[in-house]
A and B are shown apart, each in its own frame.
Chain A
Amino acid sequence: MDTTQLLKGVLDLAVLAVVAEEDGYGYDVLRRLRAGGLVEVGDASVYGTLRRLYAAGALTSYVVPSDEGPHRKYYGITPAGRDQLEAQTKDWTTFTETVTDLLRPARPDRRDHRQPAVPEGARP
């Protein structure tokens, strides 16, 4: 499955989560996302997402001069960003649970999709 399509939908959430943990500059955020398992994530996508979240007020940014090279632009989360993170985390959890539940019946035997799905356990 093409995970890049999935990624697009949740990149905001992932970036917010990483920045909420600790302020970071563009590449720092990218590295932490990749270290967290999102190895496919594109650098320009992350940098662009940071910018959009900043423009939307979810992030704040500040520049840290460097003695050795170009300045770094750090991002930190704002209260609005925390609210957004919280709300989206809830949405995400609900959504994934729903999808997981939807997928569960297919698990026992994926090789035969024609077989009628048999519900397992009690479902709400």
Chain B
Amino acid sequence: MTTTVPRQTALEIAGFVEQVRTHLGDLTEEEREELTGGLEADLADQLADGAVWSDLGDARSYAAELRQAAGLPAAPRRLPRPVVPTASHVEAALDRCRSAVDRVVQADGWTRGAWSVLVELRPVWWVARAWIAVTLLDVVAGPYEPVSVVPSLVNPLLGPVLLAAAVLGSVLVGLGRVWPGSGPDRPIARRVVLVVLNVLAILAPVWMQISMPGYVVGYYDDGYDDYGAGYAEGRASVGPGLHLGQKRVTNVFAYGPGGKPIPAVQLFDQDGQPLAQSAEASTGRGAERRAPCPAYNGATPLFNVFPLDQVALRRGTCEPETKGRTTPTPPLAEVPPLETTRSGAGG
């Protein structure tokens, strides 16, 4: 007979058995295992058969009853001494974690399905942890650089070579061909090493994420030229195009001294560079997406002529042959006229 109890109950049972085991802490691991081996299944059946938690009582008296019936000495008076984890404890803990995960995974059809997919995806993790390891080295080793797909390291050749070696090593470890190997049937030291390495690989990206922005903001805010494209990538959340502070400027409307909209102005910055909108500076998504359309001087697109036309495009940028471009309506039909123009003020 197999009995399935709700997963929550299964976890509660596992917790109860764990507590009972704690109260048997003065016994040897073998005695404890003899007393509590199969206990989870028994309790699951009892509960499924209509017993309630209160029938079980507390873990301490349950352990005492087990002990007495088994003819083992009663628990020592003193509190169970803090158990110094030995290799067998650690191994048992790992085994329990593993079986707990197995139980949760096997509890439902859909979790079984999802798990089987995850198992198939293990190679992705093997590659990812290799990349994380090399990237971590990259981050720790040198001055700040943007995180790149292929870690750059000191020498342009070193990054790709190291990454390839790390991926190979990680995959071999995953396949169990290389120390420390993979899977439960190995010496405890090797299992612990693998667990520690994997946990580090999971935590490392979090650490990199936390440590980098402060680093960047603190020292390199003005380093645009030095850190070039990578830095722009780092600022990717701001997006391409014109910005006023953090806010995107999607279009610009110019008004003359009389307060009337000017149909077209060409804008340049202090260096004479076109103050141009990016062709990619679209707004909205799907049917609501609007892409900026440039003015043309011959065949040359000019994205610094404002206001820019717009076109509804689901994807891509506005091209010369793109149909349906519209001139946006100015947000204000008119603004207050200037009482004195600049030339007037100067004169």
Question: A residues near B, CB below 8 A?
Answer: 11, 25-28, 30-31, 42-49, 51-52, 54-55, 63, 66-73
Q: Of A42, A44, A70, which contacts B41 at CB under 8 A?
A: A70
Distance (whole angstroms) from the CB of A23 to the closest CB of chain B:
13
In the bound complex, residues from chain B placing their C-beta under 8 Å from that of A26 are 38-39, 41-42
Residue in A51, A55, A68, A70 with the greatest tally of chain B CB atoms within 10 Å = A70
Binary A-proximity of B25-39 (CB < 8 A = 1, otherwise 0)? 000000000110111
Complex CA gap A74/B81 in Å reads: 32
B122-160 residues with Cβ-Cβ distance < 8 A to A are none
Residue in B34, B35, B69, B99 with the greatest tally of chain A CB atoms within 10 Å = B69
Distance (whole angstroms) from the CB of A100 to the closest CB of chain B:
27
Known: A48-B35, A54-B34, A55-B70. A42 touches B2 (CB 8 A): no
Q: Of A45, A48, A69, A72, which contacts B103 at CB under 8 A?
A: A69
Q: Is the CB of B71 within 8 A of A52?
A: yes
Complex CA gap A120/B39 in Å reads: 51
Distance (whole angstroms) from the CB of A13 to the closest CB of chain B:
14
Complex CA gap A108/B274 in Å reads: 121
Complex CA gap A117/B196 in Å reads: 79
Q: Does B65 interact with chain A (Cβ within 8 Å)? A: yes
Q: Is the CB of A47 within 8 A of B39?
A: yes
Q: Of B45, B56, B62, which contacts A27 at CB under 8 A?
A: B45
Binary A-proximity of B299-342 (CB < 8 A = 1, otherwise 0)? 00000000000000000000000000000000000000000000
Complex: chain A residue closest to B34, CB-CB: A51
Q: Is the CB of A42 within 8 A of B65?
A: yes
Q: Which of B3-11, B217-225, B243-251 lies at the interface?
A: B3-11
In the bound complex, residues from chain A placing their C-beta under 8 Å from that of B10 are 69-70
Complex CA gap A19/B106 in Å reads: 31
Q: Does B111 interact with chain A (Cβ within 8 Å)? A: no
Q: What's the A-B contact tally at a CB cutoff of 8 Å?
A: 95
Distance (whole angstroms) from the CB of A31 to the closest CB of chain B:
7
Residue in A49, A51, A54 with the greatest tally of chain B CB atoms within 10 Å = A51
Q: Is the CB of A47 within 8 A of B69?
A: yes
In the bound complex, residues from chain A placing their C-beta under 8 Å from that of B70 are 48-49, 51-52, 55
Known: A44-B66, A68-B3, A69-B103. A51 touches B35 (CB 8 A): yes
In the assembled complex, 19 residue pairs joining A and B whose CB atoms fall closer than 8 Å, in A order, are A26-B39, A27-B41, A43-B56, A44-B66, A45-B65, A45-B69, A46-B69, A48-B70, A51-B34, A51-B35, A51-B66, A55-B71, A67-B106, A68-B3, A69-B10, A70-B10, A71-B41, A72-B41, A73-B38
Complex CA gap A11/B68 in Å reads: 13
In the bound complex, residues from chain A placing their C-beta under 8 Å from that of B3 are 68-69
Distance (whole angstroms) from the CB of B262 to the closest CB of chain A:
77
Q: Is the CB of A73 within 8 A of B41?
A: yes
In the bound complex, residues from chain A placing their C-beta under 8 Å from that of B55 are 43
Interface size on B, residues (CB 8 A): 33
Distance (whole angstroms) from the CB of A5 to the closest CB of chain B:
13
Complex CA gap A55/B46 in Å reads: 24
* Interface residues of B, dominant DSSP: helix
Complex CA gap A70/B3 in Å reads: 10
Complex CA gap A42/B39 in Å reads: 14
In the bound complex, residues from chain B placing their C-beta under 8 Å from that of A63 are 37-38
Q: Is the CB of B4 within 8 A of A68?
A: yes
Q: Does B191 interact with chain A (Cβ within 8 Å)? A: no
Complex CA gap A69/B17 in Å reads: 14
Complex CA gap A15/B209 in Å reads: 61
Complex CA gap A44/B36 in Å reads: 10
Q: Of A28, A48, A67, which contacts B69 at CB under 8 A?
A: A48
Distance (whole angstroms) from the CB of B111 to the closest CB of chain A:
13
Q: Is the CB of B38 within 8 A of A70?
A: yes
Distance (whole angstroms) from the CB of B68 to the closest CB of chain A:
7
Q: Of A27, A69, A71, A72, which contacts B46 at CB under 8 A?
A: A27
Q: Of B38, B44, B62, B69, which contacts A11 at CB under 8 A?
A: B69
Q: Does B185 interact with chain A (Cβ within 8 Å)? A: no
Q: Does B67 interact with chain A (Cβ within 8 Å)? A: yes
Distance (whole angstroms) from the CB of A49 to the closest CB of chain B:
5
